[in-house]
């Protein structure tokens, strides 16, 4: 979990969880209402992607609802593409699932070059 603080008070959060060995599933990005429209969701999402990349995940997936236009806009702005609904969301008509390839961190990329 990643927390965003303002004056020692948590105002934003997000997390991810593994799905099998790949990919990481982005979960629960939330910003308190008084702190929205300040770019915090983007910063939380970028931090989650960086963290997942550092752990070796190559892809992030997520689910959001069709009634969440702000979330959909955030994910599209962050280069997520709509995919077929997966796992527990397969038959949920109100769900939208998305994915994005995430960059490996430099340490992982260096390790991969050493193996090649």
pLDDT in tens, 23-69: 999 998 999 999 988 999 999 999 999 999 999 999 999 999 999 99
Annotated domain spans of the chain: 2-115
Using CA atoms, how far apart are residues 75 and 90, in angstroms rounded to an integer? 19
Q: What is the CATH number of domain 2-115?
A: 3.40.630.30
**97 C-beta neighbours (distance < 10 Å), count:** 20
Q: List, in order, residues 6 or more apart from 114 with CB less than 8 Å away.
A: none
14 pLDDT exceeds 70?
Answer: yes
Residues 61, 67, 73, 74, CA torsion sign: negative
**86 C-beta neighbours (distance < 10 Å), count:** 15
Helix (H, G, I), strand (E, B) or coil at 20: coil
Q: pTM of the entire structure?
A: 0.85
């Amino acid at each position: 979990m990643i927390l965003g603080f303002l004056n020692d008070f948590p105002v934003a959060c997000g997390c991810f969880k593994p799905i099998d060995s790949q990919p990481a599933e982005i979960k629960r990005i939330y910003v308190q209402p008084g702190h929205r429209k300040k770019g915090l969701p983007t910063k939380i999402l970028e931090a989650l992607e960086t963290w997942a990349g550092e752990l070796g995940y190559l892809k992030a997936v997520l689910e959001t609802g069709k009634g969440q236009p702000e979330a959909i806009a955030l994910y599209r702005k962050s280069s997520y593409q709509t995919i077929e609904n997966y796992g527990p969301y397969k038959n949920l008509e109100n769900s939208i699932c998305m994915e994005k390839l995430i960059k490996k961190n430099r340490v992982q990329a260096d390790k991969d070059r050493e193996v090649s």
